[in-house]
């Protein structure tokens, strides 16, 4: 029943954002002038939560706009009602619904749906990752210099050693293609599907990566923090790759590559 509720919630929210993407809606700012939330984000979130509560009224919910709805439950739904809100607000069809399910501290299921491209990604722990019901696998590229990478930049810039611009500059100065789509959930799914060989970002929240990082792992990839330790969506740093370039990309990020 978890799976059916997850799919129902993601599909319903996806239909809503597809319907509203080129319409009129109110837009507000959060932490910075381009950290946006629209009325459609809030409507999508409410729709998802209503569907979850119909089937699992006692489950814990963590969602981007409303925050934590704490319940005495070992199961937590982690929701991004629209990942890629700036894209959505500008009519750019690279945005999605992302929902992950965590049980006893482990991510067990995730769905990422971009209705504008008709791409529904689904993963279940130990059972693989899928795009529109077809199994997906990570790429086979084994060198960063030949890789196609993707990243994102925070709306409040991090002035830190090896920050986002420093790592980006280091890679592109060597001619390595690094894309910036504006949706971490899509970035992760496209690594899982083999479209990108690797993804890194300096500052994500749990709702950005919860579903997507499971997608990469279930597609045969590797996901860690910048130190190469086991990944947790509750810390900001992420490196997700096909596994073959993982250690090398960690060195590029740390500026310890040869």
Q: pLDDT per residue over 49-90, tens digit each?
A: 999 999 999 999 999 888 888 888 999 999 999 999 999 999
**pLDDT tens digits for range 184-223:** 999 999 999 999 999 999 999 999 999 999 999 999 999 9
For residue 7, the SS3 value is helix
CA distance 92 to 114: 12
Q: Are the C-beta atoms of 220 and 187 separated by less than 8 Å? A: no
- Strand 106-114 with 36-38, pairing: unpaired
pTM above 0.85, yes or no: yes
The token duo for 92 is: 């750019």
Q: For the chain, what is the mean pLDDT?
A: 95
CA distance 164 to 253: 9
The domains of the chain, with CATH numbers, are 2-135 (3.30.540.10), 144-254 (3.40.190.80)
DSSP 21-72: TTS---EEE-SSTT-EEEHHHHHHHHHHHHHHHHH-TT-EEEETTTEEE--S
């Amino acid at each position: 029943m978890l799976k059916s509720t997850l799919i129902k919630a993601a599909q319903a929210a996806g239909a809503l954002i597809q319907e509203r993407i080129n319409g009129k809606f109110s837009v507000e700012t959060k932490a910075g002038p381009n950290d946006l939330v629209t009325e459609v984000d809030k409507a999508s979130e409410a729709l998802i939560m209503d569907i979850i509560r119909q089937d699992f009224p006692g489950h814990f919910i963590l969602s981007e706009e409303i925050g934590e709805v704490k319940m005495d439950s070992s199961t937590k739904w982690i929701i991004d009602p629209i990942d890629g809100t700036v894209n959505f607000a500008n009519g750019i069809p690279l945005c999605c619904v992302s929902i992950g399910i965590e049980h006893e501290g482990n991510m067990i299921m995730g769905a990422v749906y971009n209705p504008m491209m008709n791409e529904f990604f689904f993963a279940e722990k130990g059972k693989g990752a899928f795009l529109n019901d077809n199994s997906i696998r990570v790429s086979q590229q084994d060198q960063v210099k030949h890789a196609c990478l993707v990243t994102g930049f925070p709306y409040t810039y991090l002035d830190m050693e090896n920050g986002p611009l420093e790592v980006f500059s280091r890679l592109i100065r060597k001619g390595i293609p690094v894309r910036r789509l504006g949706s971490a959930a899509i970035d992760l799914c496209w690594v899982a599907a083999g479209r990108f060989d690797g993804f890194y970002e300096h500052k994500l929240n749990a709702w950005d990566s919860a579903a997507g990082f499971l997608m990469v792992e279930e597609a045969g990839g590797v996901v860690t923090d910048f130190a190469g330790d086991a990944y947790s969506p509750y810390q900001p740093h992420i490196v997700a790759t096909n596994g073959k370039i993982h250690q090398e990309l960690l060195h590029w990020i740390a500026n310890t590559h040869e």
